[in-house]
Amino acid sequence: MTAGSPNFGERRGRARPSLIVLHYTGMESCEAARARLCDPVAEVSAHWLISETGKVEALVPEEARAWHAGAGVWAGIDDVNSHSIGIELANSGTHPFAEPQMSALERLLPAIMARWSIPPHRVIGHSDMAPARKSDPGPRFDWCRLARQGLAIWPERLLLAPANDAAAFRAAAHAIGYDPSLPDDLLLRAFRLRFCPWSDGPLGPDDLARASALARLSIDRSGQPA
């Protein structure tokens, strides 16, 4: 049995997990990633590690605060580590995610979401909450596949926006969970990396249409950002 990581602490303020953050390891192998996540000198960790072959390893108890997210903001939360479960996917970031790995993730996510009552719109990428520093799980990760199973969100039933309205795009992105203090270019880049990864150029009506559709999915029944 693989030893867990020593790199964790207590969740601050008695916080409960309300987010799941997906990462890629960005290393040459799962073994190298595991060694780093379990190295006390490195001071990084995650709750779960999934290999390319679909092997799932628990490295930190879910009740504890793993050190996976770092500085960043999502939905007004600036201590994401205390409010999240971190899942590392062994992938260098240069190739698609293996089928056994995706299948393993699809089995793991529903159990975590059920244990902590985490809805699909609060399953995010590292790049969503720290776009100035991170790009994982990257443009090759299949978010749409997860969304089809209710494990994430994806823009559907788009109504094309009539104009490139930067203020409306920013408001929709904020409702989704993005940090409202991000500059316009970084906000657009982070949004596209997640929801339209091969887009480029200035803000367009399709960006606003996607953001508006996603904002509707991210608003709870009380009408407040979720």
User: pLDDT tens digits, residue range 18-63?
Assistant: 999 999 999 999 999 999 999 999 999 999 999 999 999 999 999 9
Query: Residue 33 is part of a domain; what is its CATH number?
Result: 3.40.80.10
Q: 58: burial class by Cβ within 10 Å (0-12, 13-18, 19+)?
A: middle
**Does residue 129 have a pLDDT over 50?**
yes
User: pLDDT tens digits, residue range 74-118?
Assistant: 999 999 999 999 999 999 999 999 999 999 999 999 999 999 999
User: pLDDT tens digits, residue range 163-181?
Assistant: 778 999 999 999 999 999 9
Q: Are 206 and 214 in contact (CB under 8 A)?
A: no
> How far apart (Å, rounded) are the C-alpha atoms in residues 114 and 102?
19
Q: Are 90 and 105 in contact (CB under 8 A)?
A: no
Domain shared by 47 and 76, yes or no: yes
pLDDT of the residue at 2: 53
DSSP conformation letters of 47-110: SEEE-TT--EEE-S-TTSEES-S-S--BTTBS-GGGGEEEEEE---SSSPPPHHHHHHHHHHHH
**Does residue 219 have a pLDDT over 80?**
no
Domain residues for the domain of 174 are 166-217
Model pTM?
0.94
pLDDT of the residue at 3: 63
Domain shared by 178 and 109, yes or no: no
